[in-house]
A and B are shown apart, each in its own frame.
Chain A
């Protein structure tokens, strides 16, 4: 039995790898229900997550049906996005039937039927022209040809040509697909999985699609040509270029038709004086519609996914009623005491709050679809390489090294000059990460960072940290807390008691503390705490006043401090404490001192 299980696992691994290689093709097709452009990635991660969670040491006596059920359970818990959830539901339905370990062609049909029922039932407002249609067509075709062959796997593979035809018809079932000139991405993903299955027998190649940004550029060129340039110039370079475009290479059906029609128009314009104006207007309308189909009004901005678990069975109907009015694309899947919820909403916080009434939320993910859309249609769209990155913005070479070594994925050292919004947008985009936890060392950078976050293509979670120590504090503690699905990290920035030392440039009296010009003063909790003539005295006095049960004092030296070993001097005054000194390189303060 072990060999059989290993073979099944190997087949799933190969199909997963096959899909992973073609995920970008699926990403580029995605326009339904909103163009969030990550259907391919979501399906890929759903399958990968399911396989990664299979225990290494399975019981010796595990049967194929149990093994498939195990994958199905993992798939549901690891599913992402609409398509990932629908695919998981379909597989869940199938494996419920296959648990009996009957892999005859008749039982496989029953399994596909149950898969369809489960997928349709679990989808709120199921629509044709989607992955669901392909599942339903698989059921029909399989049933139709079932008597021809014994082997159910071969029967499924024989259904692929019919499913391709069905996929090509999806634009006729969903107007939004037709407008955009693409087939349904979830359906295409489903087909690629079946082709992956077929590839176990023979190799196949998925056609390349034109990146959307290029398709939009061509469309824009055509529109410009029709609206402006052609009117002014008898001979136009653009016109020549368009006439020589190989329309046959354009796989986007809608754009293919537009290019073809414009070429015909250019070719015949001298022979058709009467209809020339009308034809040009119709073509301009076409290019505008194509453009607008990729800039839809996103009614519900946040794609929100949650997994809720409880000690008791959860009433899924009550759960649905509780949140259905928060948005659309609602999918609730699962059973017993664990459910997975997917919804597009403008109020993710309210959804999370309401769902927490039903149990503990063990997973959450909120994606900003406007951001994703902007990335998707952009000429310089980003192919995300990472799910999450931690990005710190800090002044000081020393702090840069410290933060990097504590686990920050990227640290930008801005020295004396705070970064512009443009610089921050460039840095955020250069991380190629879908989600970014961003933290600056100065409250003054927060505004620019917030604006940059609204302009960049990733989901950015800003930590309102205000100095370098709060960044160290953020990276200390439990590793799993610094996670975009868990907002606990935002509270970690104040965990380290610290103060700053600077030198006064003028005489003043602030917060009830008189400071003379040239004196050193301590800032603690945002206020001037005390001042003294010498650096050592001011540091010792502050430690004396702030010390409770801390045992380690850490001194971070600034850029402009020369040849002064403050830690050694303080050690003489406080022999019972441990002192460490590091180079921070900050320009604003002479020293940061922490008490831990």
Chain B
């Protein structure tokens, strides 16, 4: 690789920043609003801090798009040190504002440095999976067009499955999409929702529902197997499991089932950031897989 390439993303990857194996990586933090007050991820204000307050204090929180000024500053700071900047952005249908900001910033710097914006069509681990595989790609090529083409293939081959015990958290954020059908059950159910990279609409879809963690974990594993058959994928290249630590038993069960039945080159046990707690809600966890 001759070009100096900087990758920029944000703190909604489903993995810790220290789990990103790339030296030239920068990230922005999503603003989280609790009432009037704005928070950013820190040692104090973590996902578990917010999840606990959800349960104990019944607070509501919402996220905002990334700051245009912060994104501009970050690129400005690095523009002379690199030949190419790649931004891995959360799905444009999940946050059109963030993707638009990324596009505007790209336009602003077009005469100074090429910027590739990758619409991951994902959030949480899905964006993380696209990022990790992108790092593999740039080890083999630094040609802009090839990177764009291969990144496009990554996006359409990345799939996320979320167990969200209370869908109202997602609904309040306006991101529930087609999973609205799973809202308002009289029975206490565990809804499973998904973001399918090959879905051009990029909306959250209902995957199914179960009554126990065992049932929904099996449902997720079956759905992944079905998707692998459809995509004719023999192995998962990278998988990220992350979620609310208070549901460690359920997450461990999913991890065991996954390891026992899905061939995977790189299974990562990630972590949630502050902003991701808003999407998932208390008790939520997810697995994202890339098949390319």
Write the residues of chain A forming the contact surface with B, with a CB cutoff of 8 angstroms. Answer: 52-57, 59, 61, 311, 360, 362, 401-402, 405-407, 472, 475-481, 551-552, 554, 580, 582, 596
Contact (Cβ within 8 A) A59 B149: yes
Contact (Cβ within 8 A) A478 B148: no
Contact (Cβ within 8 A) A59 B152: yes
Contact (Cβ within 8 A) A56 B201: yes
Contact (Cβ within 8 A) B230 A57: no
Q: Which residues of B contact A362 (CB under 8 A)?
A: 230
Within 8 A of A (CB), among B194-240: 200-202, 205-212, 214-215, 219, 222-223, 229-230, 232
Contact (Cβ within 8 A) B210 A57: no
Q: Which chain B residue lies CB-closest to A360?
A: B229
Contact (Cβ within 8 A) A57 B207: no
The list of the 9 closest CB pairs from A to B, nearest first, reads A478-B208, A55-B200, A405-B186, A405-B185, A479-B206, A402-B186, A596-B211, A56-B200, A479-B208
Smallest beta-carbon distance A309→chain B, Å? 9
Contact (Cβ within 8 A) B184 A478: no
Once A56-B200, A57-B119, A551-B212 are accepted as A-B contacts, the answer to whether A405 and B207 lie under 8 Å apart by CB is no
Contact (Cβ within 8 A) A477 B92: no
Contact (Cβ within 8 A) B93 A56: yes
Q: Which residues of A contact B202 (CB under 8 A)?
A: 56
Q: Which residues of A contact B232 (CB under 8 A)?
A: 311
Once A476-B210, A479-B207, A552-B212 are accepted as A-B contacts, the answer to whether A57 and B186 lie under 8 Å apart by CB is no
Q: Which chain B residue lies CB-closest to A54?
A: B200
The reply on B187 being an interface residue by CB < 8 A is yes
Once A57-B119, A362-B230, A582-B187 are accepted as A-B contacts, the answer to whether A477 and B200 lie under 8 Å apart by CB is no
Contact (Cβ within 8 A) B215 A596: yes
The reply on B1 being an interface residue by CB < 8 A is no
Query: Can you list 30 contacts pairing A with B, beta carbon distance less than 8 Å?
Result: A52-B200, A54-B200, A55-B156, A56-B200, A59-B148, A59-B152, A61-B145, A311-B232, A360-B229, A401-B186, A402-B186, A402-B187, A405-B184, A407-B181, A475-B209, A476-B209, A476-B210, A477-B208, A477-B215, A478-B222, A479-B181, A479-B205, A479-B206, A479-B207, A480-B207, A481-B208, A552-B211, A552-B212, A580-B187, A596-B211
Q: Which residues of B contact A554 (CB under 8 A)?
A: 187, 211
Q: Which chain A residue lies CB-closest to B148?
A: A59
Alpha-carbon gap, A401 to B185, bound state (A): 9
Smallest beta-carbon distance B44→chain A, Å? 34
The reply on B113 being an interface residue by CB < 8 A is no
Smallest beta-carbon distance B158→chain A, Å? 14
Once A362-B230, A477-B208, A478-B207 are accepted as A-B contacts, the answer to whether A57 and B92 lie under 8 Å apart by CB is yes
Smallest beta-carbon distance A123→chain B, Å? 29
The reply on B17 being an interface residue by CB < 8 A is no
Alpha-carbon gap, A552 to B156, bound state (A): 38
The reply on B248 being an interface residue by CB < 8 A is no
The reply on B188 being an interface residue by CB < 8 A is yes
Alpha-carbon gap, A402 to B184, bound state (A): 10
The reply on B79 being an interface residue by CB < 8 A is no
Contact (Cβ within 8 A) B219 A477: yes
Smallest beta-carbon distance A221→chain B, Å? 47
Contact (Cβ within 8 A) A406 B189: yes
Within 8 A of A (CB), among B160-187: 181-182, 184-187
Contact (Cβ within 8 A) B208 A405: no
The residue from A53, A406, A407, A479 contacting B200, defined by CB atoms under 8 A apart? A53
Smallest beta-carbon distance B223→chain A, Å? 6
Q: Which residues of A contact B222 (CB under 8 A)?
A: 478
Alpha-carbon gap, A110 to B207, bound state (A): 46
Q: Which chain A residue lies CB-closest to B222?
A: A478
Smallest beta-carbon distance B117→chain A, Å? 10
Q: Which residues of B contact A406 (CB under 8 A)?
A: 185-187, 189, 209
Contact (Cβ within 8 A) B230 A472: no
Alpha-carbon gap, A52 to B229, bound state (A): 23
Alpha-carbon gap, A596 to B213, bound state (A): 10
Q: Which chain A residue lies CB-closest to B215?
A: A596
Q: Which residues of B contact A480 (CB under 8 A)?
A: 207-208
Smallest beta-carbon distance B226→chain A, Å? 8
Render B82-121 as a binary contact track against A, CB cut-off 8 A, 1 for contact. Answer: 0000000000110000000000000000000000000100
Alpha-carbon gap, A407 to B206, bound state (A): 11
Contact (Cβ within 8 A) A472 B187: yes
Alpha-carbon gap, A596 to B201, bound state (A): 35
Q: Which chain A residue lies CB-closest to B145?
A: A61
Alpha-carbon gap, A479 to B216, bound state (A): 12
Render B56-77 as a binary contact track against A, CB cut-off 8 A, 1 for contact. Answer: 0000000000000000000000
Q: Which residues of B contact A52 (CB under 8 A)?
A: 200-201
Smallest beta-carbon distance B11→chain A, Å? 23
Once A56-B201, A405-B185, A472-B187 are accepted as A-B contacts, the answer to whether A477 and B206 lie under 8 Å apart by CB is no
Smallest beta-carbon distance A386→chain B, Å? 14
List 19 additional A-B contacts (Cβ < 8 Å) besides A57-B152, A478-B219: A52-B201, A55-B156, A55-B200, A56-B119, A59-B148, A59-B152, A402-B185, A405-B184, A405-B186, A476-B208, A476-B211, A477-B219, A478-B207, A479-B181, A479-B207, A480-B208, A552-B212, A596-B211, A596-B215
Q: Which of B200, B211, B212 has the most CB of A within 10 A?
A: B211
Q: Which chain A residue lies CB-closest to B156?
A: A55
Q: Which residues of B contact A582 (CB under 8 A)?
A: 186-187
Alpha-carbon gap, A402 to B222, bound state (A): 26
